[in-house]
Amino acid sequence: MKTLKKAALATAVAAAMATSALAAESAPTRGTGEYSWDSLAKFDKLDFSGVTVTVTGPWLAPEDDYLRRVFEPFEQATGATVKYNGSDSFEQQILIDAQAGTPPNIAFFPQPGLAADMASRGYLTPVSNSIKQQVLDTYAAGQSWIDLATYENKAGKEDFYGVFYRADVKSLVWYSPDNFEDNGYDVPETMEELIALSDQMVKDGKKPWCIGLGSGAATGWPATDWVEDIMLRTQSPAVYDQWVNHEIPFNDPKVVNAIETFGQFAKNDDYVSGGASAVGTTDFRDSPKDLFSVPAKCFMHRQASFIPAFFPEGTVVGEDADFFYFPAYASKDLGKPVLGAGTVAGITKSNKATEAVLDYLLSPLAHELWMEKGNFLTANTKVNTALYASDTQKALGDILLNATTFRFDGSDLMPGAIGAGSFWTGMVDFVSGDSAQDVADSIEKSWKELK
């Protein structure tokens, strides 16, 4: 599935980006360093001596040790024992365990769709309103994180089920600071400025964009990210959710407009390195390399935080390459939406300490202890951002903290036959010459055929 392929890739690459990642070790001594130790005080009042909380999720070595390190202060404060076991087949195993009546107490879900499915089967326990309020009070774009953890139960009634812990950012444009400086280009702050900058580059005889959709059997997925980002910049979060949930048809004019807007970038020979005809056949791993050719063959590349793994060897992020937020339209008044991913912790088997564990996962301390290890971003506004493992990680975290809306990759939440099927192939057909309307009609037809 697309989700698993991209998540695994993002994890591997982000680890490489975390330039100051440390070896696994025990949590620092309480009261030392610049951590938010005060956030631990309320847990001192709890006594969970003899209580064990079992936890599972997708994280394997070395990240499993990072999480165990995060839980150490909670264990010391409350007397509880928290046991984490990661699985490389988490998505399958958690459902098997739930059906057998032997789930862990808490599970970290790498995609909300799986958590929603578990809730609909009665395998998740709703979380209290006090936890919900903490999310609203402490997370940037707090309502977005509530929405992403609100699912229907077996009776079809919506409830709040989890806490997001660790996030990823996809709304990024990569560029070479040297190339921008040499040509007098400024980083754009609005979509209008981004388009104007692209047009200026064309006037200067340059190609603004590197775009490639090739990815073997998964060819086409990079374009779905473009369309999702554009949907968030042209429509309200509610409309985005309706599109993802098929509450409006895929060929709704709002969706067709987003595809056409992507075409203004990808189907424009003047805009794209190699010309529009190369977009569908260029491998996404190769497309950003033109940023670093001499002279540069293109100047900007929209892609998630994992893409530096495919930059030329020796490229230093923050020096040779950098990124900026894929901007919103100033004229649309839709704030600063961010497309990304994240992991939600839900209760799969309740005991008297499980909700306290989720409460702890909302504390800034629980975030800071992984932030400093690298490969961890958070929307928690209370953390000490100076503890990020690198300037790059901090800059990515700042994008999350400035977000007014956060949404998951829509194609990952759609049925596989759509999000990892007709949507992918439709985008290839689009850049190959089909109209946005024809492509949207075809994808809508494939969705109806699922019923």
Q: Each residue of 367-389: pLDDT tens digit? A: 999 999 999 999 999 999 999 99
372 shares a domain with 224: no
Residue 131: pLDDT over 80: yes
345 shares a domain with 329: no
Domain total of the chain: 2
Percent of the chain scoring above 70 in pLDDT: 94
Please tell me the predicted confidence (pLDDT) of residue 80.
98
- Cα of first residue to Cα of last residue in the chain, in angstroms, is 21
The CATH number of whichever domain residue 67 belongs to comes to: 3.40.190.10
Please tell me the predicted confidence (pLDDT) of residue 13.
43
Whether 304 and 168 have beta carbons less than 8 Å apart is answered as yes
Whether 248 and 254 have beta carbons less than 8 Å apart is answered as yes
With b for 16 or more beta-carbon neighbours within 10 A and e for fewer, the 158-180 pattern comes to ebbbbbbbbbbbbbbbbbbeebb
Q: Which residue has the tokens 């935080």?
A: 305
Q: What is the pLDDT of residues 178-193, one digit of tens each?
A: 999 999 999 999 999 9
Please tell me the predicted confidence (pLDDT) of residue 4.
38
143 shares a domain with 79: yes
48 shares a domain with 92: yes
pLDDT band at 17 (very low <50, low <70, confident <90, very high): very low
149 shares a domain with 12: yes
Average pLDDT over residues 29-39: 97
Mean pLDDT of the chain: 94
Residue 127: pLDDT over 80: yes
46 shares a domain with 180: no
Please tell me the predicted confidence (pLDDT) of residue 111.
83
74 shares a domain with 47: yes
Q: What is the pLDDT of residues 194-219, one digit of tens each?
A: 999 999 999 999 999 999 999 999 99
138 shares a domain with 88: yes
For the stretch 39-44, contacts whose Cβ atoms lie closer than 8 Å and that sit 24 or more positions apart, written own/partner, are 39/363, 39/364, 39/365, 39/382, 40/73, 40/74, 40/77, 40/363, 40/365, 43/74, 43/77, 43/78, 43/356, 43/359, 43/360, 44/77, 44/78
**pTM > 0.85:** yes
369 shares a domain with 331: no
Average pLDDT over residues 251-270: 98
Average pLDDT over residues 133-147: 97
263 shares a domain with 373: no
State the Cα–Cα distance between residues 371 and 364, nearest whole angstrom: 10
295 shares a domain with 426: yes
208 shares a domain with 101: no
Average pLDDT over residues 9-33: 61
Please tell me the predicted confidence (pLDDT) of residue 3.
44
The answer for residues whose C-beta is within 8 angstroms of residue 121's C-beta and 6 or more apart is 98, 154
Which range of residues forms the domain containing residue 400? 2-168+341-408
pLDDT band at 24 (very low <50, low <70, confident <90, very high): low
Please tell me the predicted confidence (pLDDT) of residue 25.
85
Residue 92: pLDDT over 50: yes
